[in-house]
Chain A
Amino acid sequence: MNVPMIDFVPIWTAILGLGVLLYVVLDGFDLGVGILYGFTVNRVWRNLVMNSIAPIWDGNETWLVLGGVGLFAAFPLAFAIIMPAVYFPLLAMLLALAFRGVAFEFRYRDSPHRTFWDYAFSIGSALATFAQGIVLGAFIQGFEVSGRNFAGGSLDCFTPFSIWTGISLIFGYALLGAGWLVLKTQGELQEWARRLGRWCFGGVIVAIISVSVLTPLLDLDIAARWFSWPNILYLSPVPIVTLLVAIWEWRSLNNRGSEAGPFVGAICLFLLCYIGLAISLWPLIVPYKFTLWEAASSPNTQAFMLIGALFLIPIILMYTGWSYWVFRGKVRADIGYH
Chain B
Amino acid sequence: MTFDPLLLSRLQFAWVIAFHILLPAFTIGLASYITLLEALNFTTGREVYLRLSTFWTRIFAISFGMGVVSGIVMPFQFGTNWSRFSDATANVLSPLLAYEGLTAFFLESAFLGVLLFGRRLVPRWAHLFAALMVAAGTLFSSFWILSANSWMQTPAGYETIDGRFFPQDWLKIIFNPSFPYRFAHTIVAFYITTGFVVLGVAAWYLRRGRFVEEGRRMVSMTLWLLTVLVPLQIFLGDAHGLNSFKYQPAKIAAVEARWDTVNGAPLTLFAIPDPKTESNRYALDIPYLGSLILTHDAHGNVRGLKEWPPEERPPVAINFFAFRIMVGIGLLMLALVVVSWWVRAGRRLYESVWFLRCCELATPLGFIAVIAGWTVTEVGRQPWTVYGLMRTADSVTPSLTGRDVLISLIGYGIVYLIIFPVGVALMARLVRIGPFGAGLEPEPVESGRPELPVRALPSSGPEGLP
Contacts and interface: CB of A to CB of B under 8 A. Distances in A.
Given A73-B94, A97-B72, A84 B456 contact: no
Contact of A79 (B79, B116, B169, B456): B79
Contacts of B400: 84, 87, 154
Contact of A149 (B100, B398, B419, B456): B398
B224 interface: no
B167 to A, nearest CB: 5
A150 B166 CA distance: 22
A337 B460 contact: yes
Nearest to B58: A109
Interface string B72-99: 1101101111011011001110110111
A316 B109 CA distance: 11
B113 A58 contact: yes
B107 A319 contact: yes
A255 to B, nearest CB: 23
A320 interface: yes
B462 interface: yes
Contacts of A69: 75, 94, 97-98, 100-101
A326 B120 CA distance: 10
Interface of B is mostly: helix
B94 A329 contact: no
B361 interface: no
Interface of B: 61-62, 65-66, 68-73, 75-76, 78-81, 83-84, 86-87, 90-92, 94-95, 97-103, 105-107, 109-114, 116-118, 121-122, 133, 166-170, 397-401, 404, 407-408, 411-412, 415, 419, 422-423, 426, 429-430, 440, 449-450, 452-457, 459-464
Contacts of B95: 73, 301, 304-305, 308
Given A77-B87, A319-B107, A55 B113 contact: yes
B75 A65 contact: yes
Nearest to B401: A154
A220 interface: no
The prevalent SS among residues of A at the interface is helix
B112 to A, nearest CB: 6
26 contacts: A54-B117, A55-B117, A59-B106, A59-B110, A64-B72, A65-B101, A65-B105, A72-B86, A73-B90, A80-B90, A84-B397, A87-B404, A98-B419, A99-B419, A101-B68, A102-B419, A109-B62, A153-B401, A154-B400, A301-B95, A304-B95, A305-B98, A309-B98, A319-B107, A328-B453, A338-B464
Please tell me the size bucket of the interface on A.
35 or more
Interface string A301-338: 10011001100110010011011001111111101111
Contact of B456 (A54, A110, A308): A54
A309 B429 CA distance: 42
Given A320-B110, A326-B121, A83 B79 contact: yes
A329 B454 contact: yes
A77 B87 CA distance: 6
A327 B72 CA distance: 25
Contacts of B412: 95
A54 B109 contact: no
What 10 A-B pairs come out closest when comparing CB atoms?
A: A83-B79, A76-B90, A55-B113, A51-B456, A73-B94, A335-B455, A59-B109, A80-B87, A101-B69, A98-B69
Contacts of A153: 399, 401
B113 A152 contact: no
A332 B461 contact: no
Contacts of B170: 1, 304
Instruction: Give the interface centre of B94, B100, B103, B450 by most chain A CB atoms within 10 Å.
Output: B94
Given A83-B79, A326-B122, A58 B464 contact: no
A68 B76 contact: yes
Contacts of B401: 153-154
Nearest to A151: B399
Given A51-B457, A149-B83, A298-B166, A72 B75 contact: yes
Contact of A319 (B110, B419, B430): B110
A95 B112 CA distance: 23
A109 B90 contact: no
B169 A51 contact: no
Contact of A338 (B84, B87, B118, B463): B463
Given A84-B83, A149-B398, 20 more contacts: A54-B457, A58-B112, A65-B71, A66-B101, A69-B97, A72-B78, A79-B86, A79-B90, A83-B78, A83-B86, A102-B69, A109-B430, A297-B91, A301-B167, A304-B170, A305-B94, A316-B102, A323-B113, A329-B453, A331-B454
A327 B79 contact: no
Contacts of A65: 71-72, 75, 101, 105
A323 B86 contact: no
Nearest to B162: A148
Given A109-B62, A111-B463, A312 B452 contact: no
